Amino acid sequence: MSEWQPIETAPRDGARIFCYAKGRPKAHNHNARVAHQFRVDRWNGNNWWRQYPEAPYSHWMPLPAPPAFPQNDLSAYGIGPSDNNEGMTLRDWFAGQALPSIVAATSAGQHNLSGVGTVNDMIAQDAYRLADAMLEARK
């Protein structure tokens, strides 16, 4: 993640960024303060969407890269991935974890490949079959 930068240098293109404000008075007690405030916000053309007027942002930094696992994977509910659903599914991760063992066992003659296509195709198919079994075992 990048270092904090002055808010004056923040992008004004609507991109979401991580913002920092020193603090703000609580709404019900103006003598009390919320110490530090970190928010994800974006510029709406005139101002910051979520900034409190009494505690303006002083610094910003880009958001970190998204996680490998998508946050909105609804495939378990029969809903396909959306266009903005980047990353791998748990099924993909399980298959990737199984892959080295399948390759090693196949190379050592301890695993007979099943499926159709090239050797690589069959290794991938076996990895996903094992991943499917792992997902089923979680139920």
Q: Does residue 50 lie within any of the structural domains?
A: yes
Structural domain harbouring 26: 5-62
pLDDT at 84: 46
Does the residue 67 lie in any domain? no
58 plus 92 within the same structural domain = no
Q: Do 29 and 50 fall within a single domain?
A: yes
Q: 68 lies in a domain?
A: no
The pLDDT tens digits along the chain (139 residues) read 468 899 999 888 888 888 888 765 555 444 444 455 667 777 777 777 777 666 788 888 888 766 566 555 555 555 555 544 556 778 888 899 998 899 888 888 888 888 888 888 889 999 999 999 998 998 7
- 45 in a structural domain: yes
Q: Do 54 and 97 share a domain, yes or no? A: no
pLDDT of residue 132: 92
pLDDT at 126: 92
Look at residue 116 and tell me if it is in a domain: yes
Beta strands in 3-135 (DSSP E): 5-6, 17-21, 24-26, 29-34, 37-41, 59-62
Structural domain includes residue 70: no
Residue 33 has a pLDDT of 47
Buried-exposed string 8-29: b where 16+ CB fall within 10 A, e elsewhere? eebeeeeeebbbebeebeeeee
Whether 9 and 48 map to the same domain: the answer is: yes
CB–CB of 61/4 below 8 Å?
Answer: yes
Looking at 24, 40, 62, which one is the last position of a domain? 62
In a domain, 39, yes or no: yes
Position 127 scores a pLDDT of: 92
Instruction: Tell me how far CA of residue 57 lies from CA of 28, 36, 61, in angstroms.
Output: 21, 11, 11
- Please tell me whether residues 94 and 131 are part of one structural domain: yes
d(CA 126, CA 18) in angstroms, rounded, equals 42
- Domain end, chosen from 40, 62, 84, is at 62
Q: How far apart are CA 4 and CA 21, in angstroms?
A: 12
Q: Are residues 37 and 91 in the same domain?
A: no
DSSP summary character for residue 19: E
* Angstrom distance (rounded) from CA 87 to CA 106: 28
Number of domains making up the chain = 2
